[in-house]
Amino acid sequence: MRILAHFSTLSEAVRDHIHDGDTVSLEGFTHLIPYEAGHEIIRQGKRDLTLIRLTPDLIFDQLIGMGCARKVIFSWGGNPGVGSLHRMREAIEKGQPKPLEILEHSHAGLVNAYVAGAAGLPFGVLRGYRGTDLIEHNSQVAVIECPFTGEKLSAVRAVNPDVTVIHAQQADRDGNVMLWGIVGIQKEAVMAATRAIVTVEEVVDRFEPRPNSLILSRLLFKAVIVTPGGSHPSYAQGYSVRDNPYYVAWDGISRDRATFLSWMEQNVMSPAGK
């Protein structure tokens, strides 16, 4: 616990803390998805990553389509309110641009895998997966018996990413981090990881108390990066709204590989003004 958070740049933080072959969690449940950090991972051409997110969302579609991933651990892989993630589907269905291994949970299962990871336990317990075919296709779920009642429950193996990346609204000057609104699984994803990095909308002198807010200690982060708009096209409550047209447009952009690649080139790899 002795290395304290420090302010950094996105290119430095991704270079120093994310390596080829790492297991990387980018969390944010619809809200506060760390898109900018994901794009920097793509720009730096990271390879063979095991990517973890409850909802892969467009950011994983982009990472997968650009060939960064060898495996995805997830629990719901759609474009919310729109339809499919075409790049992820093509990787699963046709092995394009490269074969993609998947490990598929339910939300409750993956949530409890993060909880166990954050708590330093090798597994979590839930009354889940019962009667489903998921359990047959997931070696990280097992039956466990209650030593008191004999009830059979599910154990899910902890996830402990090498790196977790999140986006938050604010950091203070010490590097403590505040997020509010839908807080999802970010605390557990950060605490389950060996290293964590956070992009924030801004740095403030003092946190103003907010409803439904969460403060994460500076002790948990290797790097804090000021990245306004870092969760676009998702949103940061109090700073931006979800860019629903982007999500709708993605369906057309991502359906065809060539269109996707040209869009990524223009908008992510060498965007105007970057």
Partner 1 sequence: MTQELTYTADEMMTIAAARLLSNGMFCFVGIGLPSAAANLARATHAPDCVLVYESGTIGTKPSRLPLSIGDGELSETAEVVVSLPEIFNYWLQAGRVDVGFLGAAQIDRFANLNSTVIGPYDQPKIRLPGAGGAPEIATGAREIIVVLRQNTRTFVEKVDFITSMGHLTGGDSRQELGIKTKGPTVVITQLGLLRPDPATKELRLTDLHPGVTLQQVQAATGWNLQIAAELKQTPPPTVQELSALRDIQSRTKNG
Name residues contacting its own copies, limited to 9-68 (CB under 8 A).
none
Binding mask 19-58 for partner 1 (x = CB under 8 A): ----------xxx----------------------xx---
Q: What phi-psi label fits residue 49: left (phi over 0), alpha (psi between -120 and 50 degrees) or beta? A: beta
209 binds its own copies (CB under 8 A): yes
How far is it, in rounded angstroms, from Cα 36 to Cα 156?
31
Looking up tokens 């030593």 gives 147
Q: Which is nearer to partner 1, 44 or 84 (CB)?
A: 84
Cis peptide before 245 (omega within 30 of 0): no
Q: Which of residues 143-162 bind partner 1 (CB under 8 A)?
A: 151-152
4 binds partner 1 (CB under 8 A): yes
Phi and psi torsions of 116, nearest 5°: -65, -40
In the chain, beta strands by DSSP E: 23-26, 49-52, 69-74, 78-79, 83-84, 101-104, 123-126, 141-145, 152-157, 163-172, 177-180, 195-204, 213-216, 223-226
173 binds partner 1 (CB under 8 A): no
148 binds its own copies (CB under 8 A): yes
215 binds its own copies (CB under 8 A): yes
Choose the one of partner 1, its own copies, none that binds residue 131, judging by a C-beta under 5 to 8 angstroms depending on kind.
Answer: partner 1
Q: Which is nearer to its own copies, 151 or 258 (CB)?
A: 151
Q: Which of residues 83-142 bind partner 1 (CB under 8 A)?
A: 84-85, 88-89, 92-93, 104-109, 111-112, 114-115, 118-121, 126-134, 137
263 binds partner 1 (CB under 8 A): no
Sign of dihedral through CA atoms 74, 76, 82, 84? positive
